[in-house]
Chains A and B, each alone.
Chain A
């Protein structure tokens, strides 16, 4: 029988759909206090997944594709909770597809996919269908045509909204599978992360952050 976290799930507030939310119903500090109920192994797996696929990756994120692939491989080997493993794989695939769409839109070749082959199961498939508009993956991922149209239109905000909506829906389905289990807990954490990112959108801050990144890249090179 799957582990139950009835008290923990019941202690978490209702999360409104991110597009309608006006404020976050719980702070990170309070959320972490509640998450102390998690068993150590589950907490560790959640932390691994968060470090890899949360919407707002920490500043200590890997600087190269190779480093990222190594981190993905190591984490996927350790994340053995089936629903969490599947979600992490889904996010890695999603990020790989988006990266491929961006690279192709910028007239780059598919060579970068060789480096990420170990992380996403679709890397080789995308490379061999590079000239197909949706990499022949639209039946598996019906959002690809819409994402491609946003990338072609340089609409980063629309793309973000689409990706957030897709992840949100997937997390809702995962939580419905076990309403009081670990699935519901990690779905809440990742949905909360999306909600925070949505509420924190700020054009001015984004501009200064972008400038910081540019400086960082220049400094590195």
Chain B
């Protein structure tokens, strides 16, 4: 039983980074695909579309920070806590990156035909980012309560 608990601790430790990275890959790919399509249709301002496509990469950064905050010598006391916190934070980051990728793709799709809505069309993506930040910050706060 003890090795299993310790293994779960390792899973929890790496989950925020791994799941956040998976989310960023998918999210950036979705938004990036839309940006590539939009490049065929617009005459200029390509940078803004590629910039928007990079938005879902922030979840990987949050994942790195959470993983670093959870990092400690694993034992039977702290492994269950690290598992719960790490996996849930990772899932939240991954799903937020998926959703943000879709929101960014929609934003790129509408703003290519109507540039004046570019800013406001990013609001849904920014809202999704806000929820990712909540998950990130509270993971850090709660990580402080896990025994060393």
Among B37-45, B88-96, B125-133, B139-147, which stretch is in contact with chain A?
A: B37-45
Closest to B30 in A: A6
B35 lies within 8 A of A10 (CB): yes
- B58 at the A/B interface (Cβ < 8 Å)? no
Contact at B41–A7, with CB atoms within 8 Å?
A: no
Chain A residue numbers with a CB within 8 Å of B114 are 14
Chain A 14-40 residues near chain B, CB threshold 8 A = 14, 34
Does A11 touch B at the CB level, under 8 Å? yes
Q: How far is the CA of A12 from the CA of B106 in the complex (A)?
A: 13
Question: In whole angstroms, how far apart are the Cα atoms of A214 and B100 in the complex?
Answer: 58
Residues of A close to B41: CB separation below 8 A: 10-13
* B113 and A9 within 8 A (CB): no
Known: A13-B113, A14-B113. A7 touches B106 (CB 8 A): no
A170 at the interface (CB under 8 A from B): no
Q: Is the CB of B38 within 8 A of A11?
A: yes
Q: Kindly supply a per-residue 1/0 record for chain B positions 14-46, scoring 1 wherever the CB is within 8 Å of any chain A CB and 0 otherwise.
A: 000000000000000010011111101100000
The residue in chain A whose Cβ has the minimal distance to the Cβ of B49 is A10
A66 at the interface (CB under 8 A from B): no
A180 within 8 A of B: yes
Separation of A179 and B108 alpha carbons in the complex (Å): 13
Q: Are B113 and A8 in contact (CB under 8 A)?
A: no
Check A10–B105 contact: CB distance below 8 A.
yes
Instruction: Specify which of B37, B112, B113 is in contact with A6 (CB 8 Å cutoff).
Output: B37
Residue of A nearest to B35 (CB): A10
When the two chains form their complex, are residues A6 and B105 in contact, meaning their CB atoms are under 8 A apart? Answer: yes
Cα distance A179–B106 when bound, in Å? 8
- State the Cβ distance, B100 to closest chain A Cβ, in Å: 14
The smallest C-beta distance from B105 to any residue of chain A, in angstroms, reads 6
In the assembled complex, which residues on chain B have CB atoms less than 8 Å from the CB atom of A179?
106, 109
B52 to chain A, nearest CB (A): 12
Known: A7-B34, A10-B34. A180 touches B105 (CB 8 A): yes
A residues neighboring B (CB under 8 Å): 4, 6-14, 34, 179-180
Q: Give 8 A-B pairs besides A9-B37, A12-B37 with Cβ atoms closer than 8 angstroms.
A: A4-B30, A9-B109, A10-B105, A11-B37, A11-B38, A13-B113, A34-B40, A180-B105
